[in-house]
Chain A
Amino acid sequence: MVNLTIDNTQVTVAKDATIFDAAKSVGIKIPILCHDKKLHPFGGCRMCLVEVEQMKGRLIPACTTPVTEGMIVRTTTDEIVKARKLVLELLLLKHPLDCPVCDAAGDCDLQNLTYEYKVNCNQFSDEKFNHAIDYENPLIERDMNRCIHCGKCARICDEIVSYGAYTFINRGIEAKMGTPFDGPLSCEFCGSCISVCPVGALISRPFKFKARWWALNKVKSVCSYCGTGCQLTLGVKDNKVLTTVYDENQGFHNGQLCTRGRFAYQFVNSDNRLTTPLIKKNGKFVEAGWDEALKLVSEKLGAAKGSVGALTTAHLTNEELFLFEKLFRGTLGSDNIDHSAGYAHAALTEGAQKAFGTVTSPSEIADIQKTNLLLVIKTDAYETHPVLGFEINLGVKRQGVSLRIVSDKKGKISRLPGAKTSVHKPGTEIAFVNALANVIIAENLAVAGVAGLDQLKAALADYTPEKVAAVTGVAAEEIVALAKEYAAAEKALIMLPIGLGYPGHDAALAQAVANLAILTGRIGKEGSGLLIMGEKNNSQGAADLGIYPKNGGLKGAAIIDGAANGQVKALFIAGENPVVSYPNRKKVEAALEKAEFVVVSDLFLTETAQFADVVLPAVSFAEKNGTFTSVGRRVQQINKAVKPAGLAKSDFEILNDLNAALSGKRYGNVAEVFGEIAATVPAYQGLTLSGLGDEGAVLPVAPAAKLNAVAAPAVPAAAGKLALVTGSALYHSGTLSRFGEGPMYVCGDAYAELSEADAKALKIEEGDAITVKSDVGSVSLKAKVGKRLPAGVVFAPYHFADASINTVTDGAAVTLVTVGK
């Protein structure tokens, strides 16, 4: 620790702190334009000049100068104020000062400091900048006339996003923040650059001219897309969510968001929202009142009782899922309840259950940056959970974490410094992971005294590196080297994304990777263990609350089948869209067609809702209160920001009403149900809604680690066929993001990605219309050709309804397909 004096205040800070940090720690505000706490110091704006007694004669930048013992710092003297004024005057010299039409006005550091320093007349005058404005993309408008050269956009895009879309170009007064060859911006469109831009040089186009910043009501919430659980602040006006407002103090991610979190909120106020219940009469939907609709639904459910089938999405809040469970398993006595097609949560509900005795993985998000070695299963971890991808970037680049990836393709994270990707044949990940365990045992790298070691050793005897090399296509030496590296690392963390696009990331794979962590004694240690990354914002909550069959009930796909064969008499679907997101679309459609009675509650008249007998308009996360539980078990609150669309009700109200109508208990409000959860779900014990605060609470976990041998499934192969693997596109999450403007602007169409070799052999070029055909169906898609896929593999994201890839999938990890023009 170092002691110094700032403006006569004694300060003690860590020795790597800067003067700026030290001042901040005691609440002394030093003005600055180019600083962001998440980024490396820049030192360019020269607003933060201070005087240091020991370095008299010149002014010192607070943001780049490390503290030293006994330093005496003054942050405001006449000379300092004059220097800062000069900086502002210089910046304003060529700045357009078009505040009346600038979206940053009110939230602009330049404007605020100009005001604070009373720069009410400029002693200088000069011509204004005249740079062309980049309107080329629909999300980020770049007006470099307003740029103050703080470099933050380039730094965040490089340091955190690891994309590198920006760099300064030119010199002197002509220096400007540019893109490669000064072309239009082309990137991931996460908008991180907008969030840190201190002025209006980078603005969100969807928000442009929508509202003045000060007129926005700012409501804290949590992103409702993926399981990362990013906190966000909604900018609300006139009962509309108009934007997300950056708050660098929110969440573990310091306000960072991905494209979906930042630009995909428009589904809340979409014109296509359902605003009234609908009842199908003579094949046509007719608007109905809630009383009529709920009466019909409760009659049908009451009649079907134990043969009700109920599917939900893991987008619902914990409180809603609690009511869901109470209604269907409790009041109606049916165990046919599930979510995420039954397979997409199995890694937690079966895999983790067997490996750790609990439906959660033992590690937290914070472990990512604390570990020494990250073993990521599939490069897709970046696409499924982009902000966890940023954590990986930071871990590797700032903390020196070694990154090892086991994947069926390369991806963005493969390019991080020192990263090694073992690209295996599709569907062979369990064999690969078993081989790692085999080597760890064979080389005596397992910790002493692990229970079940001998049984595991025997069970995995066949998974020698040599044999597995033949199956996976990865050299035996590479497998051995990876196993040794993993075992040797002081701390090692495995990341396993799961979701509807990843049928192979199942209970067995979860157990196989859990074995690695258990064998090497990584469970319960900081920076170590296993992080199973649930797909949706509340996937972890759905597992915690038991939204899956527990007493022999039907699982997700079987519930759909049951609707077709009469085993399920009434089917209730809350927010899930099985037609698009479950495998084998035709089969799902046929089943829904045949089903006796289908109720769908959703925000939109989805592809699935089209098949319903009754459609109930539900509300989005922005229209209700409640809690979500994210990856790493953080329980966080969402807050109602806008009134429901039309007559729409929250699933909380819908389920509560139905439960009461069927003689179940009627619960009062969200807080009461949260109290019930705290009382009945052990991990949530002792929590209160108000106690969650802004940070949320990380649920405790007490894993009882147990090795379980799992066998690798046989992987189908056939001459002339390609292996189709599905997954998530960077800009999308589930099927909801299709109602977000951002994702649809950047990635609006379904596509299939091919290797260069296959594309060449099939004479397919980027953008061609191609047909992908399997035993269950065929679909026409746009071709994408890239270097990251090995020959023989096709990748397609599953989010899209038109040309949905699930028309050709059948629920296996790998589907054999033919591809042609």
Chain B
Amino acid sequence: MEQVLFRHNRPDRSVTFEEYCAEGGFDALKKALTAMTPDEVQQTVIDSGLRGRGGAGFPTGKKWSFVPRNLPGPRWLICNGDEMEPGTYKDRVLLEKNPFSLIEGVTLASYALGVRHAFIFLRRDYETAAANLQAGIDAAKKAGLLGERILGTEFSCDIDLHLSAGRYICGEETALINALEGKRPNPRQKPPFPAVKGLWGGPTVVNNVETLANVPAIIANGAAWFKGLARNPEGAGTKLFCVSGSVVNPVCIELPIGTPLREIIDQACGGLKPGKKFKACIPGGASTQFLSEAHLDVPMDFDPVVKVGSRLGSGAIIVFDEGHCLVEATLNLIKFFARESCGWCTPCREGLQFVKEILERIERGGGEERDLDLLRDHTRFLSYAFCAFAPGAMSPLDGLLANFEDEVREHITRKRCPLKG
């Protein structure tokens, strides 16, 4: 299986700067800086079909193209390494194994966008990743691959590693921008989108770690090659899947995008734990809808997963078996979201708390039939919140009601959790 992001990985440690360079690292940067214009770099990324790996799957090159050209004043690139969504740990694995693809990718994106100063916004707990990144940035700078006049060209770029003060909402790009400015991480209203008015009011691109780490390979090997990596015709590239839950071998693995869900669970992860039977999974991190057995053949790419009522999200797959109570699992996630809500808007701040209480009631056996309607109302009305947090928070509940309503109803009619004694 072709490895792009994990190509340089060593089994027991992270790759060194020298090893990375020896394996063709920074060749893409050299190529871009000497033989390509910024627009050509951007066009290649557009042509490659690369879509954001941070959860929303927005076409990366298209996002870059929203940055107004020829605008005076600085513009910014921020790499989003907040990764605080339950179940998601792919960026951590990537950075612990290899910080250089990201550093090179950030530099390439900065070149394409005309950014002088880029930031990597990293989850505070990622201490190994942080150490790797800082050492990597220092090494690159020493080697003339960052800083003033990179590789003797006119292009200069620096990368600042910023450690988040830590909260899930900091991963939302506009909250992240506020956090980086030293403000409370409340999301900002969109429009204006960050590409037009972001960090300190300047045009700003926010991209996920995995997204940017893909850029060097795209520049080195071309758009067509990248497209060809996918398993499904409309897909492009590979994807990191980080699996957890009831599987034999919960791994973070790089597979062609479009690999069927069943294959990931059964082959890459060795199937369900002995004696366990598959019941449900969350395909893309805590803010995606539960899928059931019926959906296991879905190709794990953005559009196909949407078609079956969920999202590819971050590619974090959480597997549940027949012994798991999905009401309880949903409640667990809702508790997380209720706690992490930034509190800015009414539906999310008050609504999540309320949903949490209803689910608690149902799980305790005190639910009523009308609670189902209340929950359904909330999945709808919370999607009218200020930012994408609340709709994301409602996704597991939405999936629960869509695919496992019977299980919820059973809690209500039997006045207890059917899976507990």
Residue positions of A touching B, CB distance < 8 A: 41, 43-47, 49, 58-59, 61, 64, 66, 82-83, 86-87, 90-91, 93-94, 123-124, 126, 148-149, 151, 167-168, 170-176
Name 18 extra pairs, CB < 8 A, besides A43-B189, A64-B189: A45-B346, A46-B347, A49-B384, A83-B384, A86-B347, A86-B377, A90-B350, A124-B354, A149-B346, A149-B349, A151-B344, A168-B186, A168-B344, A171-B343, A172-B341, A172-B343, A172-B353, A175-B341
Residue positions of B touching A, CB distance < 8 A: 167, 169, 184, 186, 189, 191, 338-347, 349-354, 357, 374, 377-378, 381, 383-386
Known A-B contacts A43-B386, A59-B384, A83-B384; the reply to A172 vs B340 at CB < 8 A is yes
Q: 9 shortest A-B CB distances, which residue pairs?
A: A175-B343, A90-B350, A173-B353, A44-B345, A172-B341, A64-B189, A59-B384, A44-B344, A86-B381
Which residues from A are CB-within-8-Å of B191? 66
Main secondary structure, interface of B, reads helix
Which residues from B are CB-within-8-Å of A167? 184
Which residues from B are CB-within-8-Å of A47? 346
Which residues from B are CB-within-8-Å of A90? 346-347, 350-351, 354
Which residues from A are CB-within-8-Å of B167? 171
A94 CA / B354 CA spacing, docked (Å): 10
- CB atoms of A171 and B186 under 8 A apart: no
Most buried by B among A61, A90, A123, A170: A90
- CB atoms of B346 and A173 under 8 A apart: no
Which residues from B are CB-within-8-Å of A172? 338-341, 343, 349, 352-353
A175 to chain B: closest residue by CB? B343
11 A-B contacts, Cβ less than 8 Å apart? A47-B346, A82-B381, A87-B346, A90-B351, A168-B184, A171-B339, A172-B338, A172-B349, A173-B343, A173-B352, A174-B343
A84 CA / B160 CA spacing, docked (Å): 44
- CB atoms of B184 and A173 under 8 A apart: no
Which residues from A are CB-within-8-Å of B184? 167-168
- CB atoms of A45 and B345 under 8 A apart: yes
Q: What's the nearest-Cβ distance from chain A to residue B407, in Å?
A: 24
- CB atoms of B338 and A173 under 8 A apart: yes
Which of A46, A93, A126, A176 lies in contact with B384, CB distance below 8 A?
A46
- CB atoms of B343 and A168 under 8 A apart: yes
Which residues from B are CB-within-8-Å of A171? 167, 169, 339-343
- CB atoms of B383 and A58 under 8 A apart: yes
A47 to chain B: closest residue by CB? B346
Which residues from A are CB-within-8-Å of B345? 43-46
Q: What's the nearest-Cβ distance from chain B to residue A109, in Å?
A: 13
Q: What's the nearest-Cβ distance from chain A to residue B286, in Å?
A: 15
Q: What's the nearest-Cβ distance from chain B to residue A145, in Å?
A: 14
A176 CA / B191 CA spacing, docked (Å): 26
A123 CA / B169 CA spacing, docked (Å): 30
Q: What's the nearest-Cβ distance from chain B to residue A28, in Å?
A: 20
Which residues from B are CB-within-8-Å of A176? 343
Which residues from A are CB-within-8-Å of B354? 90, 93, 124, 126
Known A-B contacts A46-B386, A83-B381; the reply to A173 vs B189 at CB < 8 A is no
Which residues from A are CB-within-8-Å of B169? 171
- CB atoms of B343 and A149 under 8 A apart: yes
Most buried by A among B167, B384, B385: B384
A86 CA / B347 CA spacing, docked (Å): 8
- CB atoms of A126 and B357 under 8 A apart: yes
A87 to chain B: closest residue by CB? B346
A168 CA / B185 CA spacing, docked (Å): 10
A479 CA / B338 CA spacing, docked (Å): 57
Which residues from B are CB-within-8-Å of A43? 189, 345, 386
Q: What's the nearest-Cβ distance from chain A to residue B383, in Å?
A: 6
Which of A83, A91, A123 lies in contact with B374, CB distance below 8 A?
A123
B191 to chain A: closest residue by CB? A66
A151 CA / B357 CA spacing, docked (Å): 26
A87 CA / B357 CA spacing, docked (Å): 17
Most buried by A among B352, B374, B386: B386
Which of B342, B344, B347 lies in contact with A87, CB distance below 8 A?
B347
B386 to chain A: closest residue by CB? A43
Which residues from B are CB-within-8-Å of A123? 374
Known A-B contacts A41-B189, A90-B350, A171-B167; the reply to A58 vs B343 at CB < 8 A is no
Q: What's the nearest-Cβ distance from chain A to residue B191, in Å?
A: 7
A148 to chain B: closest residue by CB? B346
A605 CA / B244 CA spacing, docked (Å): 82
Q: What's the nearest-Cβ distance from chain B to residue A66, in Å?
A: 7
- CB atoms of A173 and B350 under 8 A apart: yes
Which residues from A are CB-within-8-Å of B186? 168
A66 CA / B196 CA spacing, docked (Å): 15
A57 CA / B377 CA spacing, docked (Å): 14
Q: What's the nearest-Cβ distance from chain B to residue A243, in Å?
A: 29
A580 CA / B341 CA spacing, docked (Å): 56
Q: What's the nearest-Cβ distance from chain B to residue A124, in Å?
A: 6
- CB atoms of B349 and A175 under 8 A apart: yes
Which residues from B are CB-within-8-Å of A148? 346
- CB atoms of B344 and A91 under 8 A apart: no
Which residues from B are CB-within-8-Å of A86? 347, 351, 377-378, 381
Which residues from B are CB-within-8-Å of A91? 346, 350
Which residues from B are CB-within-8-Å of A83? 381, 384
Q: What's the nearest-Cβ distance from chain A to residue B208, in Å?
A: 23
- CB atoms of A173 and B349 under 8 A apart: yes
Q: What's the nearest-Cβ distance from chain A to residue B1, in Å?
A: 39
A46 CA / B381 CA spacing, docked (Å): 10
- CB atoms of A170 and B350 under 8 A apart: no
Q: What's the nearest-Cβ distance from chain B to residue A601, in Å?
A: 54
Q: What's the nearest-Cβ distance from chain A to residue B384, in Å?
A: 5
Q: What's the nearest-Cβ distance from chain A to residue B335, in Å?
A: 10
A176 to chain B: closest residue by CB? B343
Which residues from B are CB-within-8-Å of A175? 341-344, 349
Q: What's the nearest-Cβ distance from chain B to residue A369, in Å?
A: 20
A64 to chain B: closest residue by CB? B189
A434 CA / B228 CA spacing, docked (Å): 75
B347 to chain A: closest residue by CB? A46
Which residues from B are CB-within-8-Å of A87? 346-347
Q: What's the nearest-Cβ distance from chain A to residue B294, in Å?
A: 25
Q: What's the nearest-Cβ distance from chain B to residue A44, in Å?
A: 5
Q: What's the nearest-Cβ distance from chain B to residue A167, in Å?
A: 6
A90 CA / B92 CA spacing, docked (Å): 38
Which residues from A are CB-within-8-Å of B357? 126
Q: What's the nearest-Cβ distance from chain A to residue B386, in Å?
A: 5
Which residues from B are CB-within-8-Å of A46? 345-347, 384-386
A170 CA / B352 CA spacing, docked (Å): 15
Which residues from A are CB-within-8-Å of B378? 86
A82 CA / B340 CA spacing, docked (Å): 26
A173 to chain B: closest residue by CB? B353
B378 to chain A: closest residue by CB? A86
Known A-B contacts A86-B377, A172-B341; the reply to A44 vs B386 at CB < 8 A is yes
Which residues from A are CB-within-8-Å of B342? 171, 175
A126 CA / B357 CA spacing, docked (Å): 9
A198 CA / B345 CA spacing, docked (Å): 16
Q: What's the nearest-Cβ distance from chain A to residue B389, in Å?
A: 11
